[in-house]
Amino acid sequence: MEKLPKVALPFIIGAIILVVVLAKSAVTIDSGEAGVLFKTFGDGVVVDEPPMGEGFHVVAPWNKVYIYEVRQQELFEKMKVLSSNGLEIQIDASAWYEPVYDELGNLHQSLGQNYLQRVIQPAIRSAARSVIGRYTPDDLYSTKRDAIQVEIFQETKKILDKQFVQLNEVLVRDVTLPPTIKEAIERKLKQEQESLEYEFRLESARKEAEKVIIEAKGKAESNRILSASLTDKILQDKGIEATVKLSESSNSKVIVIGSGDSGMPIILGNQ
């Protein structure tokens, strides 16, 4: 094989250098990412310009671009913390976070790409210990979990306020108590439920008894009023009215006027 002409050698070297330069200069930023430019012969990290967005970019080969994910991300944490009475509680929590897009340069300059380990994890752990330390195991097991979740979020957000990180949510997924404490709380809750059920039955029985008494009093009062109003004269008039109606009936009968002890008619037959 013939050797290449010496005149072609510089072109080949130049082409190789060009390929290397282009490879070093070309930067592709994927979806959900952004880039922070570092100028080697300038002022370092660019903080006074927006981050580099998605797509293809060409930069000077001596500069660097640091890629950050700017979508919402999730951190899972298992923490052992102490309750207000000194019992060890395990908390399973997760945090939704993302870097502040317009402050990406400042984030890179002050914290770097491992900002999760530097600020977010210590912040949520500190907030969880502070909040859980205010509550008893009973509170954690039953009614206060939502309130605890909100408090952890608020305290974590306060810590991250000037760290160029946006905290979107903190979720307390599980609270694990020591087995003996959990069993004691469950027994207590069961006893309270049984006590409430017993009180409900007593109250229902009391109301039913009151209802029966009220009905009996009403019936007695009605009978008293009726008895007071029924005189012999009224009864006799009612009997006469009934006799007249019977006499007007098409059925045959025999009516003896004034044959009863009270002088009321006696009906002998309906032949």
Residue 83: the pLDDT is 82
Report the percent of the chain where pLDDT is more than 70: 65
Average pLDDT, the chain: 78
Based on the domain organization, do 44 and 93 belong to the same domain? no
Confidence of residue 27 (pLDDT cuts 50, 70, 90): confident
Least confident of 18-22, 53-57, 126-130: 18-22
Query: What amino acid occupies position 34?
Result: A
- At which of 49, 69, 89 does a domain end? 69
Q: Identify which of 181, 178, 173 has the alpha carbon closest to the alpha carbon of residue 78.
A: 173
Q: Which strands make up the sheet holding 73-82, listed edge to edge?
A: 73-82, 88-99, 165-176
Tens of pLDDT, residues 243-253: 666 666 666 55
Confidence of residue 254 (pLDDT cuts 50, 70, 90): low
In angstroms, rounded to a whole number, what is the distance separating the alpha carbons of residues 111 and 114?
7
Q: Identify which of 78, 103, 99, 100 has the alpha carbon closest to the alpha carbon of residue 88.
A: 78
Based on the domain organization, do 106 and 168 belong to the same domain? yes
**What count of other Cβ atoms lies within 10 Å of the Cβ of residue 166?**
15
Contact by Cβ (8 Å): 266, 255: yes
In angstroms, rounded to a whole number, what is the distance separating the alpha carbons of residues 142 and 185?
9
103: domain CATH number is: 3.30.479.30
Look at residue 18 and tell me whether its pLDDT is greater than 60.
no
Based on the domain organization, do 249 and 166 belong to the same domain? no
Look at residue 148 and tell me whether its pLDDT is greater than 90.
no
Range of the domain at 45: 6-69
Tens of pLDDT, residues 190-221: 565 656 666 767 777 778 878 878 877 877 77
Least confident of 14-28, 79-93, 107-121, 202-216: 14-28
pLDDT higher for 110 or 230?
110
Report the percent of the chain where pLDDT is more than 90: 33
Based on the domain organization, do 78 and 166 belong to the same domain? yes
197 to 141, 142, 185, 201, 235: CA distances (angstroms): 22, 19, 18, 6, 55
Contact by Cβ (8 Å): 185, 138: yes
Residue 220: the pLDDT is 78
Cβ partners under 8 Å of residue 36, min gap 6? 45, 46, 51, 52, 65, 66, 68, 104, 105, 108
53 part of a folded domain: yes
Contact by Cβ (8 Å): 139, 131: no
Based on the domain organization, do 85 and 147 belong to the same domain? yes
Taken as a whole, the chain contains a residue count of 271
16 part of a folded domain: yes
